[in-house]
Structures are given as C-alpha cells and as structure tokens.
Structure 1
Amino acid sequence: MVFLHSTLHSIDDKVGLVSEVHALLAPRGRFAVVNWLPIPREQTIWLGHPRGPKQEVGMGAEATANLVLGAELELRLERTVPLPPLHFGLIFTKADGAIA
C-alpha cells in the first residue's frame, strides 16, 4: 500500500508520481489518497488559522480520480471515502496481473 496525504495537489508532475506509485505496488496493491475538499481557505479555520491549499491548486475527489485513472495504468477506483469536514479519501487497487 502507498498512502498519500494532503500532497498530490502540490506535486508538479502528478501523472509521473502516479506512475511511480503504480510501479511500486504489487498486484492487488492499494494506493490511498487523502486530500482537501475544494473549500476556500477562509472556510477551513482550525485553531484560529486557515488550513489547506489555496483554492486555485486544490483538487476535489472527482479531479483526483480522473487524474489517477487518466494515467492509463492498471489502477481502478475501489472506493471513495468522505472524511468530513475538510477531506476526502480515494482508494485505488492495482490489477492482479492475471492473464485472462
């Protein structure tokens, strides 16, 4: 399993990162991504300070899933996990490598 938390939005070569993760995973391995919901920072106050990425670089669950699946690797979206109030999670699974 590879677990990525609150990072993908700030990576320049997102598809390259996803490709590297894919290469690391064993068949049926999982890639879990937790990231911020696309909420304006002024609405994410925690302990008196705004949290999360600037809205212009934020990625919602749909954009993140499209990025990973659009890399055309053997990853499938297994589950979307709501993590309110500020995050979402996506779990992808690598193909098992079996030849049909």
Structure 2
Amino acid sequence: MDRFQNTRQPDWDWWGKLWPTPGATLRKCGLSSGHTLAEVGSGNGYFALPAARIVDPAPVYAVDVDPSLLEALAHLADQQNIKNIETVAGDARSLTDHLPEPVDVCLVANAFHGIEASETFVTEAVSALAADGRLVVINWQDRPREETTIAGKPRGPPADLRLAPSTCRERIESAADITLAEQFVLPPYHYALVFE
C-alpha cells in the first residue's frame, strides 16, 4: 500500500501549534458521545485520541497504511488508558473491507488533497457510513504554502495539491449520493466540509 500523495506525519509540536484543541475541532464538526468513527489517515492519533474520549464507549477505527504509525497510536492509547481505539492497517480506497461495521462519522483530516482516485475513496467512505452518517473533510485552504506558516516555516501540502472548498465539495458530491450539510473555516489555515 502506498501513502496518499504528499502525506507525512507531522510532529506533535507543530500539530499543537496548529490545533491546540483538536477535541474542540471535532465537536465543532458534530462528533459527540456514542458516535462510531472511522478516521482515514489517522497517523499516530492526534485526532483519533481525542475522538475516542468524545465518543467513548463507541469505537474509533483508526485507519492508516503505515503500521508503524498505528503501533505508535496503540502505544499512546495504552499510556492514556483509552480502550476504544481499534487500529486498522489498510488502504482507504477499500475502506469497507477494513471496517467491521458501518460508522456514524468518517473523518478525513489533512489527507483528501493527496488521495489518488478520490472518487473511489468517496464511494467507499459513503458505503461505510451508517444510515444518517456523515463524511467530514478537513482540508488546507487553497493558499500558497508560503502563507501557511507554523513556527516560522511554511507548512502543509504544495499549493498545486490544495483544493478550494468549492472544488473539494464538487469532487465529493459528484462521486456519491451525499450532500454538503455544513461548511466552516477552521483558523488559521483550514476549512471543514460536513456531508450527509
């Protein structure tokens, strides 16, 4: 399995500068107690860990192609006594093959821009949702990389991979029977699209 284009796991220090309260971001996106969640491209858990606290006792399926990141996530969950994260090594373009049940929320944070064959992924993500489930996409704003600095350095994907919210919405809605329910800005450099 190959990584999605231009996706690497940032270190926790700059994640913390970018998102000091990831749980608040997840709640703003509609995540609440009892929701089952699949996070695509979970890495070592910057969003999966707070998500697990929010939805407990429901499960969080942390999906990534990199087993070493999933091992790090499992270790962190164990250290923090979080019992409801299940790590899943697999390609999100075959997501339904990797999940044991439909989920209430499928989260894709900082990864949609790098998914090749995004139509296949969207179809899979929608198929993985329970009735009334939601697909949440958090993406970098389509600004030049030089303008998205963290700790004084340009961060995020190259400008040619970044998608305007309207382009991201169009790609998702054209790939599956799903409709934008909510859109908002996540300062300083992101936006969120919530589809139902």
TM-score, normalisation: structure 1 = 0.88
Q: Give % identity.
A: 30
Counterpart of 1:3 in structure 2: which amino acid?
L
Runs ≥4 in structure 1, deviation > 6 angstroms?
A: none
Distance in structure 1 (CA, Å) of the matches to 2:163 and 2:177 = 22
The structure richer in helix per residue is 2
The structure richer in strand per residue is 1
CA RMSD of aligned residues (A): 0.8
- Is 1:90 the counterpart of 2:193 in the alignment? yes
Counterparts in 2 of 1:1-100, with a 5 A limit? 1-71=105-175, 73-93=176-196
Distance in structure 2 (CA, Å) of the matches to 1:74 and 1:56 = 27
2:27 alignment counterpart: none
- Residues 43-84 of structure 1, C-alpha deviations (whole Å, 9 max, x = no match): 11111221111111111110000001111x221110001112
TM-score, normalisation: structure 2 = 0.46
Any gaps of 5 or more consecutive residues in structure 2? 1-104
Tell me how many residue pairs correspond in the alignment. Answer: 92
SS of residue in 2 equivalent to 1:28: strand
